[in-house]
Amino acid sequence: MVAYTTDSDVRSKLVRTLHRWWLDRCAGDIPDRADLDPADLKPLLPNMFVVDVEHDPFRIRYRLVGTRAIEVTGYDITGHYLDNLLPADASEPWVEHYRTAYRTRRPVFGAVDAPTRSGGRFVYEFGLFPLRKGGAAVDQFVSIEDYFDLTISLTQLVEWREADERHRRNEL
């Protein structure tokens, strides 16, 4: 995973669009969740996530997950905690990316380059954008992942294999 140091590194039109939305609503602070009107972001919705923040201990729970994200991951992660979904040997520091955006109150952008089970590579970009919910604390994030022209599901990626198997065992 590569965390970008500037938004100018972002290729994804989806990530850049959500970033513009976020910046347009920063009136001296991060946007409030009440500013998030799905009608304003309709083309992005399939790739978007809304996540809740638990402050102590710091945890991320998926509140809403877009249909494209569900299609790509192979299952609906709504209601699940990020740390429970990650493989034991996760190479991608997702919790740390959220923690950085939480602490700095700034978006985090990046790209994931993941191996597939067939030996290929798959690259996608993401953006994590902190939100308030009426107060000053970062209580949620609106996030987005752009899978570009992906035609496989993430369960075909090596790193998601263990998490997928664990998730399916828990549902039985």
| DSSP per-residue codes, 8-20 | GG---HHHHHHHH
Give the pLDDT confidence score for residue 97 in this predicted structure: 94
The predicted-structure confidence for 102-129, as pLDDT tens digits, reads as follows 999 999 999 988 777 778 787 899 999 9
C-alpha dihedral (41, 47, 52, 53), degrees to nearest 10: -110
* Average pLDDT rounded to a whole number, residues 82-86: 89
**What gap in Å lies between CA 86 and CA 160, rounded to an integer?**
8
Q: To the nearest whole percent, how much of the chain has pLDDT over 90?
A: 61
Fold of the CATH domain 2-171: Beta-Lactamase (3.30.450)
Using DSSP's 3-state secondary structure scheme, residue 159 falls into helix
Q: Hey, CA dihedral for 100, 101, 107, 111, is it positive or negative?
A: positive
Give the pLDDT confidence score for residue 172 in this predicted structure: 44
For residue 53, which of 163, 135, 166 has the smallest C-alpha distance? 135
Reported confidence tier of residue 51, pLDDT bands at 50, 70, 90 = very high
Give the pLDDT confidence score for residue 151 in this predicted structure: 66
47 DSSP 8-state letter:
G
**pTM (two decimals):** 0.85
